[in-house]
Amino acid sequence: MPQAPGRELPGVVSFVRRSSRVNPHQRRVLERLSSKYLIELPTGELSTSIAPGVEVDWQAEFADTGGGASPELFVEIGSGTGDALVGAALAHPTVSFVGFEVYERAVASTMSKLAAAGIRNVRLVMVDAVQGLDQLFAPASIARLSIFFPDPWQKKRHHKRRLVSPAFAQLATSRLAIGARWLLATDWPDYAEQMRQVLDATPGLVNEYAGRGGWAPRPDDRPVTKFEERGLAAGRPVADLAYRRVA
């Protein structure tokens, strides 16, 4: 896929691959459900990177899920244990959902929930979503992008690991269709401000709530996850943002 002009992706990744192994139950879940939900791709140098030249035909991937000839793609980055994906997939049964998550245990947990709810319109990809967005999606092909409670990387020296950076925002915007929405939520006030500054400065995006204080209401299909609960218990307010891709 072509890169957006002038964009330089960060060399550091926004996650640490936790070493904790899946337990026997999670292993069985992965063995039983991966063929249904996981898009397994040839990896590159890292187990979370994609080999050069690999692409995904999303239309073929979702051919049997009722999404139509040209699926409407909703993408979530850092889908964790899948609560938002499950809620959104049930709320929008004709939309095709792609969740990026590098944490294997969380992917197993997500698959269990998807199967228990009988969901067919979700696929998971266990690679770095930054490379995934770049390599697996054509420009202007995503109808909604969600990033809920991304890792906050609180220490100043770790801020470079934060997912929402100017280069990433430029990449993500290039993948959004005109009119597509980009939803974000965080319980870390300085990251919320950073997200807002970065997205406000990204050409092609407008803040849907610019005239109303800039912060968005909670989306109807975003459930409370344990990360949100932890933030609230610690007294951190949750900030939602909603941007729209314009020409």
Catalytically active residues, by annotation: 151
Q: Are 193 and 215 in contact (CB under 8 A)?
A: no
The residue count for binding ligand SAM (CB under 6 A) is 22
149 belongs to the binding site for ligand SAM (CB under 6 A): yes
Would you state the structure tokens that stand for residue 168, as one six-digit string? 């990433």
219 belongs to the binding site for ligand SAM (CB under 6 A): no
Relative to beta strand 142-148, strand 73-77 is parallel
* Nearest distance, CB of residue 178 and ligand SAM, angstroms: 25
What SS3 string covers 137-196? CCCCCEEEEEEECCCCCCCHHHHHHCCCCHHHHHHHHHHEEEEEEEEEEECCHHHHHHHH
* Nearest distance, CB of residue 82 and ligand SAM, angstroms: 8
* Nearest distance, CB of residue 63 and ligand SAM, angstroms: 25
Window 44-103: residues binding ligand SAM (CB under 6 A): 77-80, 100-103
Choice between 96 and 225, CB closer to ligand SAM: 225
187 belongs to the binding site for ligand SAM (CB under 6 A): no
* Nearest distance, CB of residue 225 and ligand SAM, angstroms: 3
* Bridge partners (DSSP) listed for residue 33: none
Q: Are 133 and 75 in contact (CB under 8 A)?
A: yes
Q: Note the residues at the interface with ligand SAM (CB under 6 A).
A: 13-15, 77-80, 100-103, 106, 128-130, 148-151, 163, 225, 227
